[in-house]
A and B are shown apart, each in its own frame.
Chain A
Amino acid sequence: MKGMKNHAVLILLFLTMALAPLEAQHPSYQVASPDGSLELSVKVDERIGWTLKQNGLVVATSPSIAMELEREGVLGHQAAVRRSW
């Protein structure tokens, strides 16, 4: 079991390194309002933060979105996206 886990970590490390040149170190995700006037950019790294623009001007930002659970830890810290849509 322990060996398998190590293999998985190695594979993951390899994949991350392989992808690194292709993708930014800290991935960011974009979504806009249907009329395009509002644009949101979500950044995921140590923290999950976002920036909201209206017609190109920043109207609000958030350095961190998080929820602390007693046993499961802090959702939103050391965050990693599994998949997005």
Chain B
Amino acid sequence: MVDAYEGEVLSDLYKKSRIPEVYNALTLEMKGDYKLVFRMYDAGMAYRFETAIRRDITVMGETIDLDFPHARQAWVPYIRESIHRYQASYESPYTIQSFNEMHADSLIILPLLIENENGSKVVITEADLEDYPGFYLTINEARNGFVAEQAGVPLAETPGGHNNLQSIVTEYADYIARTKGTRTFPWRVLTVAQTDVELLDNDLVFLLASPSRIEDTSWIKPGKVAWDWWNDWNISGVDFEAGINTETYQFYIDFAAEHGIEYVILDEGWSESTNLLNIIPEIDLQAIIDHGKAKGVDIVLWAGWAPLRHQMDEVYAKYSAMGVKGYKIDFMNRDDQPVVNFYYEAARKAAEYEQFVDFHGAYKPTGLHRTYPNVLTYEGVFGLEQVKWTTYTDFPRYDVTAPFIRMLAGPMDYTPGAMNNANRSNWRAVHSNPMSQGTRCHQLAMYVIFESPFSMLADKPTNYMRESASTEFIAALPTVFDETQALDGQLGEFILMARRKDNHWYLGAMTNWDERDLEVDFSFLPEGEFEALIFRDGINANREASDYKREVIKVNRSTKLPISMASGGGWAAIVSPE
């Protein structure tokens, strides 16, 4: 009675190169020209509608009603700092609450995690979101589950928000989508895990997404990028005024070239805010691109989404001809039907010019990175930028929570890499010269644990030059992998991950503000002797969070290595065959 499927997806832009896909499906063909399709994987379930209606349809709403009769509590990312109900940045720390404590009037963004009384976890999200709005949840009236809510189709918009480059919806229709009558709808996904660690290596969203629509993906180059905005262009020891100007970017390029960093990004400021075709006079973009080209460093441009929406063809044509490789597209902050369609158009057209995109100000990933592999990463995370202004002081806990929940949906552009690190009592929000919460090694481990095929180096080149050992270590870490193994972890407490690229293994561990001892069991290694380059918290890392110890030791598959992490600490290693 059921369809059994067994297959495998291949990717060279993912956390593993071979992704097995095994499921049983149940299809119910209903009276009224529609089907319901259910898929059961070992890691969870998914269902979706499929319609076969000849004419176009108008969708008034969808009922997604999910009850959890044995729930103990949930990790709730409430929408925050919204301009209005359906317009926010999708960057939220988790509030841990029982169902009775939840705020009935607040929208919850996805993914949402529910813990059952027996400790098992369910994570709700969606996949293959196309030509349709995303969904939010709110606690239901009975307080035993959730009901979904979706933005209507915008009828009127006006420029506003950040530097006037967002597009604020002033009027919504009473319907959520106008679309083709014959189509599939997004998958509603419930990941189910007996143990927390299973959530760290989950492929459901990727597998449920539509297959790649880009035939030749060989031109898509993942990698790391020297970033300007987080460090506020604050370089020192140079003979020119630092800022958004040609000399500063040439300096960033020289730094990137020296360390084998693939990209330099020009964040907001290189062009007029609302006109991406007007470059400011301080920037000689061709000179910057050519300087990079001579040194093997490629250039990526930031772009506000609303201006890009209107200038997409001209922008892509002009800057690809000049040699630009990709865009960080920002401030969508919506997931109504036209904005979801914008993601597809931005990715599809960029691919025509062999350019990639990084969606900032973005809703959670729903698998677009499989459908358009030139989508390298997405924000939708409470990332390192928050330490510039936040009052939130529990970042190390967030760092060992988001990988179980948000990262299950796909890559996250958290933008790690702070070289100024602070313990719990020293940390302050500083906008222009920021510091991270937790230790140096906590930051280094992020490059292993946080998935992002396009990964920022947040700090300034002068800090990285001063901290050359840490910088060399970060530079040596790949951003895509052949294999991923979640070795150990507990939601909100700690994570220990191993990833393999070719015959090198990359290990990372992080803890919350609690000091923690773990044991690394190297039995994942093949036979043979290996050399491990290790960065561990220094003995004084609780006092001075940037304190670390670098060491090289021999390991093999029978090694069991005790490690100690400081408060907000971490541990990272590169393991290579001798």
Q: Out of A37, A57, A60, A61, name the residue touching B42 (CB < 8 Å).
A: A37
Query: Would A38 and B58 be within 8 Å (CB), given that A54-B194, A65-B64 are in contact?
Result: no
Q: Which 3 residue pairs spanning A and B have beta carbons closest together?
A: A70-B58, A66-B63, A31-B26
Chain B: how many interface residues by the 8 Å CB criterion?
53
Contact in complex: A38, B45 (CB < 8 Å) = yes
How many of chain A's residues touch chain B, expressed as a range?
35 or more
A-B contact list, 18 entries, CB within 8 Å: A33-B40, A33-B42, A40-B26, A42-B28, A42-B36, A48-B36, A57-B118, A60-B114, A63-B67, A64-B63, A65-B63, A67-B34, A67-B49, A69-B60, A70-B175, A75-B30, A80-B30, A81-B28
B66 partner residues in chain A, CB cutoff 8 A: 60-62
Interface residue B101 (Cβ < 8 Å from any Cβ of A): no
Query: Would A70 and B63 be within 8 Å (CB), given that A38-B45, A58-B69 are in contact?
Result: no
B392 partner residues in chain A, CB cutoff 8 A: none
Contact in complex: A52, B67 (CB < 8 Å) = no
Give the shortest distance, in Å, between A34 (CB) and chain B (any CB). 5
Interface residue B23 (Cβ < 8 Å from any Cβ of A): yes
A76-B32 Cα distance, complex, nearest whole Å? 9
Contact in complex: A38, B42 (CB < 8 Å) = yes
Per-residue CB contact flags for chain B residues 102-115 toward chain A (1 = under 8 Å, else 0) read: 00000000000010
Give the shortest distance, in Å, between B39 (CB) and chain A (any CB). 8
Contact in complex: B60, A61 (CB < 8 Å) = no
Give chain B's interface residues, CB within 8 Å of chain A: 1-4, 22-34, 36, 38, 40-42, 44-45, 47, 49, 51, 53, 57-70, 114, 116, 118, 120, 122, 145, 175, 185, 190, 192, 194
A83 partner residues in chain B, CB cutoff 8 A: 29
Contact in complex: A85, B30 (CB < 8 Å) = no
A83-B33 Cα distance, complex, nearest whole Å? 12
Query: Would A69 and B1 be within 8 Å (CB), given that A42-B38, A48-B36, A52-B45 are in contact?
Result: no
Contact in complex: A67, B185 (CB < 8 Å) = yes
Contact in complex: B31, A34 (CB < 8 Å) = no
Interface residue A23 (Cβ < 8 Å from any Cβ of B): no
Contact in complex: A76, B63 (CB < 8 Å) = yes
B114 partner residues in chain A, CB cutoff 8 A: 60
* Number of cross-chain contacts by CB at 8 Å: 153
A32 partner residues in chain B, CB cutoff 8 A: 24, 40
Contact in complex: B70, A29 (CB < 8 Å) = no
Q: Which of A55, A65, A73, A76 has the most CB of B within 10 A?
A: A65
Give the shortest distance, in Å, between A41 (CB) and chain B (any CB). 10
B2 partner residues in chain A, CB cutoff 8 A: 31, 85
Contact in complex: B32, A85 (CB < 8 Å) = no
Give the shortest distance, in Å, between B130 (CB) and chain A (any CB). 15
Contact in complex: B24, A33 (CB < 8 Å) = yes
Chain B contact residues: helix, strand, loop or mixed: strand
Contact in complex: B67, A67 (CB < 8 Å) = no
Interface residue A24 (Cβ < 8 Å from any Cβ of B): no
Contact in complex: B29, A84 (CB < 8 Å) = yes
Give chain A's interface residues, CB within 8 Å of chain B: 29-35, 37-38, 40, 42, 44, 48, 50, 52, 54-55, 57-73, 75-76, 79-85
B70 partner residues in chain A, CB cutoff 8 A: 57-59
Query: Would A84 and B122 be within 8 Å (CB), given that A34-B42, A59-B192 are in contact?
Result: no
A82-B67 Cα distance, complex, nearest whole Å? 27
A57-B30 Cα distance, complex, nearest whole Å? 29
A52-B3 Cα distance, complex, nearest whole Å? 18
Contact in complex: A62, B41 (CB < 8 Å) = no
Contact in complex: B27, A85 (CB < 8 Å) = yes
B68 partner residues in chain A, CB cutoff 8 A: 59-61
A42-B27 Cα distance, complex, nearest whole Å? 11
Give the shortest distance, in Å, between A7 (CB) and chain B (any CB). 18
Contact in complex: B120, A59 (CB < 8 Å) = yes
B63 partner residues in chain A, CB cutoff 8 A: 64-68, 76
> Which residue of the partner chain B has the closest CB to A75?
B34
B30 partner residues in chain A, CB cutoff 8 A: 75, 79-82
Give the shortest distance, in Å, between A37 (CB) and chain B (any CB). 7
A29 partner residues in chain B, CB cutoff 8 A: 1, 26, 28
> Which residue of the partner chain B has the closest CB to A31?
B26
A54-B122 Cα distance, complex, nearest whole Å? 11
Give the shortest distance, in Å, between A43 (CB) and chain B (any CB). 11
A82 partner residues in chain B, CB cutoff 8 A: 29-31
> Which residue of the partner chain B has the closest CB to A84?
B28
A63-B116 Cα distance, complex, nearest whole Å? 19
B23 partner residues in chain A, CB cutoff 8 A: 33-34
Contact in complex: A54, B26 (CB < 8 Å) = no
A70-B175 Cα distance, complex, nearest whole Å? 8
